[in-house]
Structure 1
Amino acid sequence: MNRYAAISRPLAAAVRVQGVRAAVATRSAIQIRNYSAEHQEETFEHYTERFIKFFDGVDDVFELQRGLNNAFGYDLVPSPSVIEAALKASRRVNDYATAVRILEGVKAKTNSDSIYKQYLEELAPLKKELGIETKEELGL
């Protein structure tokens, strides 16, 4: 028995389409999905701008943590300006623990004590302003 026998001819033709378009057959409808064949590389500057803008608009803890997962999920260390925006967002939503975890994430991503210390030096005025301490400063 033909596997397309139960569906109409136009649907069967749509299911056989290859390339950029693919059709998913359901009992009541056809759903066309367009897949992009071209992917543009995102520059570090665009990445930085995107996450600064995101963290500036965060208004709850869930969004903050989702953004942090996305920001730290890339194979790079976020710039100090992204970390600064994330720290400000964590204090704005009154989540001190996440602020400390952001600094832990930077330490884990850098894999170098000297680079981590450079981040802490650059973020020192903001840390003091927001009252944020690192895990080591808290004695943990």
Structure 2
Amino acid sequence: MNRLVVVSRPLAAAARHSTIRSAVASRSAVQIRNYSSEHSEESFEHFTERFVKFFDNVDDVFELQRGLNNAFGYDLVPAPSVIAAALKASRRVDDYATAVRIFEGLKVKAGSDALYKQYLEELTPLKAELGVQTKEEIGA
């Protein structure tokens, strides 16, 4: 891990005047940033597996919504298995509104009506099993 120390102008002036100890003691004077070049690329399969596992273990609404924000925050459309796990989790924690919003997020992430309809077709049996409707089906 590389470390970068950012020194403000007052600290640099203090160092020239041999009063560096008092300046370093002040937390606002020194800012340490850790940089790591060890970031690895995550495959789509690993991403899918990670989020399916996450949603399978969700036990409250906060965790569900946090997981959805994370899953939809990536520059990709989550796999149908991730959406299915999120829908099951939303019904498990008894949050119907979030289940409906999952489809809204999916529609935005899909970017095209054709891809969104493919997801809907694949998730139709699960939608029926869980009793979840899309916003359009509700009439909202």
Report the TM-score, using the length of structure 2 for normalisation. Answer: 0.80
Q: Judging by fraction of residues, say which structure has more helix.
A: 2
Q: Which residue of 1 aligns with 2:79?
A: 79
Q: Which stretches in structure 1 are left out of the alignment for 5+ residues? A: 13-23
Whose RCO is larger (CA < 8 A, sep 6+)?
2
Does 2:87 correspond to 1:63? no
Identical positions, percent: 71
Q: Give matches, 1:1-140, under 5 Å.
A: 2-4=13-15, 5-8=18-21, 26=27, 34-140=34-140
> Match for 2:53: what amino acid?
K
CA–CA distance in 2 between the matches of 1:34 and 1:73?
Answer: 24
Q: Secondary structure at the match of 1:37?
A: coil
C-alpha spacing 1:25/1:32, structure 2 compared with 1 (3 Å): farther
Report the TM-score, using the length of structure 1 for normalisation. Answer: 0.80
Native 8 Å contact 1:25 1:31 kept in 2: no
CA–CA distance in 2 between the matches of 1:130 and 1:26?
Answer: 53
C-alpha spacing 1:7/1:63, structure 2 compared with 1 (3 Å): same
Superposed displacement of residue 89, structure 1: 0.3
RMSD (Å), alpha carbons: 2.5
